Amino acid sequence: MQASKKGNIFIISAASGTGKTTLVSRLVKHHDDIRVSVSHTTRPPRSGEEHGKHYYFVDNEKFEALIGESAFLEHAKVFDNYYGTSIEGVNILREQGYDVILEIDIQGAEQVRRVLPDACSIFILPPSFQELAERLKGRGTDTPEIISKRLSKARNEIEQAFLFDYVVVNNDVVTAEADLLYIIKSHRLKLPSQQVFIENLLEKS
Ligand code: 5GP
């Protein structure tokens, strides 16, 4: 029987305010073979965010129960809230053949890299610190305290870029989206992703 091809995993991390969420939403909007994994979080929803679409919003008790059930591929505490990627959610998408984007922080990226070494990791950089500060303020979603917390964390986060497979500078969103797509396309052609195709081809020969 022919094996079917499982989708690839792409980890996308960035310092906050780098435009990662916008970039990823554009990418999935334009490419229906790519999906974003919907994470669980204990942070309260922001205005316009929907349960099951942007996140699964759960309380601490539920999140900790899920940790106890080993339901997460990775999980981390970010700005005092839990965030985690459901193993089941990711597997369902991969089994359906979708490439799956994990839009997660660097702690989560490290955990996924350890358990899934074939995952492709991409770090998004801002063009400059000045630009990053302006974007964080302009977003209007966070208090000044959170913004200064995010900025002081940004430098440390950016130092982690050295651990990723690819680095994309988000200077303009159209170019950065195209860069992401080049990476995704080239990763799809790497041997581990093509293994099933080769095996099926040989089986039919
Ligand atoms: P926000 O609260 O702004 O949506 O996300 C805060 C940070 O948590 C971002 O860096 C985001 O990428 C990260 N994040 C979102 N979901 C997950 C997840 O499932 N796991 C981990 N480790 N980080 C996540």
Q: pLDDT tens for residues 58-75?
A: 999 999 999 999 999 999
pTM of the full structure = 0.92
Q: Which atom of ligand 1 is nearest to the CA of 81?
A: 2
Q: Measured between alpha carbons, how far is 63 from 49 in angstroms, rounded to an integer?
A: 19
Q: Which atom of ligand 1 is nearest to the CA of 79?
A: 6
Ligand 1 pocket test: which of 78, 90, 103, 153 has the largest number of ligand atoms within 8 Å of its C-beta?
Answer: 78
Secondary structure class of 168 (helix, strand, coil): strand
Ligand 1 pocket test: which of 36, 104, 136 has the largest number of ligand atoms within 8 Å of its C-beta?
Answer: 104
Least confident of 20-29, 125-134, 138-147, 189-198: 138-147
Cβ < 6 Å from ligand 1: which residues? 16, 39, 43, 74, 76, 78, 83-85, 103-105, 107-108
- Going from the C-alpha of 52 to that of each of 15, 45, 100, 118, the distances in angstroms are 24, 11, 16, 27
Q: Measured between alpha carbons, how far is 175 from 99 in angstroms, rounded to an integer?
A: 21
Q: Are 161 and 109 in contact (CB under 8 A)?
A: no
| Domains with residue ranges and CATH for the chain | 9-37+98-204 (3.40.50.300)
